[in-house]
Amino acid sequence: MRLAKYLAHAGVASRRAAEEIVRAGRVSIDGRRVTDPARAVGEDSDVRLDRRPVAGPEPRAVYVLNKPRGVVSTARDTHGRRTVVQLVRARHPDGLGPRLYPVGRLDADTTGLILLTNDGELAHALLHPSRGVERAYRARVAAAPVRERALRELRRGVELKDGATAPARVRRLAPDVLELVLHEGRKRQVRRMCEAVGHPVLELERVRFGPLTLGSLAEGESRRLAAGEVLDLRRTAGLGPAPP
């Protein structure tokens, strides 16, 4: 197994972040510093990060969480706020569970579906723009009712400071409620798009990521995905079945 992949599967970081960690000279194999992320790692290799042993890859796991408002989408928070990782671990029998990292982010005020995994390859594929994995959101907006002109602008794509967005699929569920389906994951994208067409977001919930929906999952609850669900998720991201 390549070193960057080994680190990602061990829960150290995503594959891309693991490559940067290796290039920075922070990793050694059998006592020798390594800077090539593609370096092969044997079953008996002594892999260390910043001189601390890195345990072998944990069993792959993917969890879905219904994130409440005020919870941050990080593994740790320097300001003492609750994190999505803490919520998942709190429901694990031993209070710990596998080392997990969120797949992308939802801002603190956004609720709904977020995935957490220790599979760096899957996380990277789900987030890569070229894979076009859909995310669906439900937004309650100001300045209702939302007129057809605003819907057309959202469907064409909206010009933002960081460039034009890709066209979105948009439905009006109520005079002040929209459902938006995006293939991109820019920072605060839904909020910025709606504000750009004159309807600032008051409440925002992500209701779907790829083939996964919240279903009956209550706010603050999480569950581990079944093998079939993980396979569907991998196929959506353009990946085959995970190796054993």
Task: Enumerate the active-site residues.
Answer: 107
Give pairs for 31-40: CB < 8 Å, separation 24+.
Answer: 34/3, 36/3, 37/2, 37/3, 37/4, 38/2, 38/3, 38/4, 39/2, 39/3, 40/1, 40/2, 40/3
Paired with 163 in beta bridges are 160
CA–CA distances in Å: residue 196 to residues 44, 111, 125, 172, 206: 55, 21, 29, 17, 20
Paired with 206 in beta bridges are 112, 137
